[in-house]
Every structure is written in C-alpha cells, then in structure tokens.
Amino acid sequence: MQDDLQQLKLLSIFHYILGGLTALFACFPFIHLAIGIAMLTGNLKDSNTGQAPPEFMGWILVLLPSIFILCGWALSICIITVGRKLAKIKSRTYCIAIAAVECMLMPVGTVLGVFTIIALMRDSVKDLFETNNINAASDFT
C-alpha cells in the first residue's frame, strides 16, 4: 500500500511537470500569430513593391495558431488536473482517460501515460481509489 501511494505521488509530480511543459510548448505558435496580425494590419509589406500579402494568409496565420494555443493550454490544464487528482486519489476514470490522451505526446507523454495506466489498473490501486471514494462520501453524510 505504501508503494502504491508513493508511486501515485511520483506520477502526480510528473504530471505537473508535463503539464507545465505542454503549456510552454503551446506558446510557440505565438510567433505565427504575431506574423498573421502583422499581415492583417499591413505592417508586413514587400520591400520592393510595397504590396501586402493576401488577406487570407493573414487570417490563416491568426486562426490556426490561436486554435493550437488554446488546445495546448486546455490539454495542459487537463494534465495538471490529473496530477492533482492522483495526489488526492480521486477520479480514477478521468485519470485513465487523460493518460490515454497523453500517449500522443511523444516521447515523455507516452511513457508517463503508459506508466499511469499500468499503475491505475492494479487491483491494489483500484481499492485505494474505492476506499477514498467511500471515505469522501461518508464525509458528506
């Protein structure tokens, strides 16, 4: 039981780290967003002809990076939430679902996601989550 608690604590810490890294890497498209805004405002013109690039290019460079940034931040919030839930030993199903999504974040997310799924599938860890849910339910009554 102590080993399970220690493993859940370590997994929680690694989820915090991966969530922070995911949020950081989700900020990289800000470069493209700035270029798109410069294209739309007319600040980015050809030095020889003085013509601005087509407006649709600016919109593409504004919309796509915005979507990538928001999705990356949403994923990082989900990963950090898993770290919190693992630390409190709550919401086992949510943790498994997000761990499966983490497997797409190669290579670190894949390793962390697989280890999280393996740890959460053990019977002793299932019992930990069930007893914690029973204790939480008895606190409300």
Q: How does pLDDT run across 98-131, given as a tens digit for each residue?
A: 999 999 999 999 999 999 999 999 999 998 988 8
Phi-psi region of 123 (alpha: psi -120 to 50; beta: other; left: phi over 0): alpha
Query: How many structural domains comprise the chain?
Result: 1
- The pLDDT confidence band at residue 140, using thresholds 50, 70 and 90, is very low
DSSP 8-state symbol, 122 = S
- Which string of DSSP letters, residue by residue, matches 15-64? HHHHHHHHHHHTTTTHHHHHHHHHHHHT----TTT-PPPPHHHHHHHHHH
Residue 75 structural domain? 2-140
Q: Which residues contact 34 (CB under 8 A, 6 or more apart)?
A: none
